[in-house]
Amino acid sequence: MACLYAYWIQLNEGLIVTGLRDHVSWGMYLANFVFFVAASLIGMLISGILGLLGQEWIKPIARIAEIIAVAFAAVAGMVIVSDMGRPDRLPYVFMYGRIQSPILWDVTVVTTYMVISLLLWFIPMIPDMAIAKSRMDHCPKWLSFVYNILSLKWTHHPEQYKILFKATRILFILVVPTAFAIHTVTSWLFAVNPRAGWDSTIFGPYFLTGAFVAGSAGLIMAMYFFRNNYRLKAYITTEHFNKMGKLLFLTGLIYLYFNINEYIVPGYKLKTADAIHLKELLTGHFAPLFWSVQIGGLIIPLILLLFKRFRQPGILTIIAVFVFIASWFKRYLIVVPTMEHPYLPKQFLPQEWMLYQPTLIETAITIAPFILVLMIITVLSKLFPVVPIWEMAELGEQHEAHETHPIDESSLSDETDIKSHSDE
């Protein structure tokens, strides 16, 4: 309620109640938007890339990843509205938007990605709802009615599964370029600007890799919560955490590489504007936050993840929390320091006009989307299965078949076949 009241004040009095001014017009709201877009990309990484690669181990956690993707993508669109003085003019983006504008494309790809993520969450769940609707004697009638409608008269016919697999694979293929586009276009909101800190040609892959880091950390936290509170230890095992720890390490290592490039190159050229920007980050006003993010949110986690003992559920979740928090502050460091140092120097202006200090109202509005995401995840996980029932049953039958009829590896034609059976 406090967050809603804060937004009501902003809506009535305008953005003057925030720390945003003419010279620093982007702040926590924009950092929040970039972060929410980033966190939503975990659905693409798990379902899209790893799904297309045939990684069977993702099946118990794929639906959790899609729930996170749907929640963050849906709320990301609302986050950007909080930065608008006149949110009633949002339809003008579509009515009068210029096709050359990154803002128009950003809105388009965010909406498209949310729709695809919603379909990737819903379509594989249709057989589960058909299974569950016959076992809902103790559930509310309205929930049974919802399951009956959403099961779409599923009868487990082989032809239905054939259509399901085909549709899911098409969505896997579609979600990858859409997700790449969503964060690439978001990065262009900054990269097309000549300001120090934003004038970069690698912002696309830089943002994309950072999104994988934030999304992986978010998924690990969700896995730990659902595993312990929904009694899913038999399905979400320590091996899943071990593999997610390796995935977080891989994405973090690539992100560290882009971080080094992002600061070494302008530091070597040291143009006037870049020199001021880097000094503020490395030794100036933003230095404590900058080094906390780099060391506590990236370097130390990468070192710890090298060792298997730190990829156990409890310890890995703690690491993921630090990485997740650092990921948000990283977006803050991308947005605010550059805004405080304009491309053209400002003269004869009070110093406080050039500095950004978030207000209590602004902070409350920034927290609100996180609460909304948690509410969406809670509702979806309470009403629908978070682990795919039919896919887990299928995997169980495969394991049982292999235990009953052991495989003679010498009879297999090549090493690829041996590996595929041993993975199963």
pLDDT in tens, 393-424: 766 555 555 455 443 433 333 433 433 333 43
Mean pLDDT lowest among 23-27, 314-318, 413-417: 413-417
- pTM over 0.85, yes/no: yes
Task: Specify burial of residue 310 (Cβ count, 10 A radius: 0-12, 13-18, 19+).
Answer: middle
Residue 392: inside a domain, yes or no?
Answer: no
Mean pLDDT lowest among 18-22, 123-127, 143-147: 18-22
Give the tens place of pLDDT for each residue, 252-263: 999 999 999 989
pLDDT for the residue numbered 75: 93
Q: In terms of residue numbers, what domain contains 117?
A: 2-387+411-423
Residue 397: inside a domain, yes or no?
Answer: no
Cα-based distances in Å from 32 to 297, 332, 410: 17, 8, 55
pLDDT for the residue numbered 15: 86
Average pLDDT over residues 24-31: 89
Angle at 348 between CA 344 and CA 350, to 5 degrees: 100
Mean pLDDT lowest among 103-107, 126-130, 174-178, 198-202: 103-107
- Per DSSP, 138 falls in state T
Residue 398: inside a domain, yes or no?
Answer: no
- Pick from 52-56, 195-199, 325-329, 410-414 the range whose average pLDDT is largest: 325-329
Residue 393: inside a domain, yes or no?
Answer: no
Residue 330: inside a domain, yes or no?
Answer: yes
3 state SS of 382: helix
Gyration radius of the chain over CA positions: 24
Q: pLDDT exceeding 90 applies to what percent of the chain?
A: 41
3 state SS of 90: coil
Give the tens place of pLDDT for each residue, 70-100: 999 999 988 888 888 888 888 888 888 788 8
Give the tens place of pLDDT for each residue, 279-313: 999 998 899 999 999 999 999 999 999 999 999 99
Long-range contacts of 275-283 (CB under 8 A, 24+ apart): 276/196, 276/341, 277/196, 277/197, 277/337, 277/338, 277/341, 280/337, 280/340, 280/341, 281/333, 281/337
Residue 406: count of CB within 10 angstroms of its CB = 7
Judged against a pLDDT cut of 50, whether residue 101 lies above it is answered with yes
Q: In one letter, which amino acid is 106?
A: D
Which two structure tokens, joined as six digits, stand for 134? Answer: 């016959």
Q: pLDDT exceeding 70 applies to what percent of the chain?
A: 90
Residue 381: inside a domain, yes or no?
Answer: yes
Judged against a pLDDT cut of 80, whether residue 207 lies above it is answered with yes
Residue 399: inside a domain, yes or no?
Answer: no
Average pLDDT over residues 56-69: 91
Nearest to 66 by CA among 204, 207, 218: 218
CATH code, domain carrying 299: 1.20.1630.10
Nearest to 223 by CA among 398, 42, 72, 54: 42
Residue 82: inside a domain, yes or no?
Answer: yes
| Alpha helices, DSSP H, located in 230-309 | 238-269, 272-282, 287-291, 300-304
How many domains is the chain built from?
1
Mean pLDDT lowest among 41-50, 57-66, 366-375: 41-50
Give the tens place of pLDDT for each residue, 341-393: 776 666 666 766 778 888 999 999 999 999 999 999 999 999 998 988 877 77
Q: Are 160 and 188 in contact (CB under 8 A)?
A: no
pLDDT for the residue numbered 289: 94
Cα separation, 218 vs 38, in Å, equals 10
pLDDT for the residue numbered 356: 86
Which two structure tokens, joined as six digits, stand for 267? Answer: 């530091």
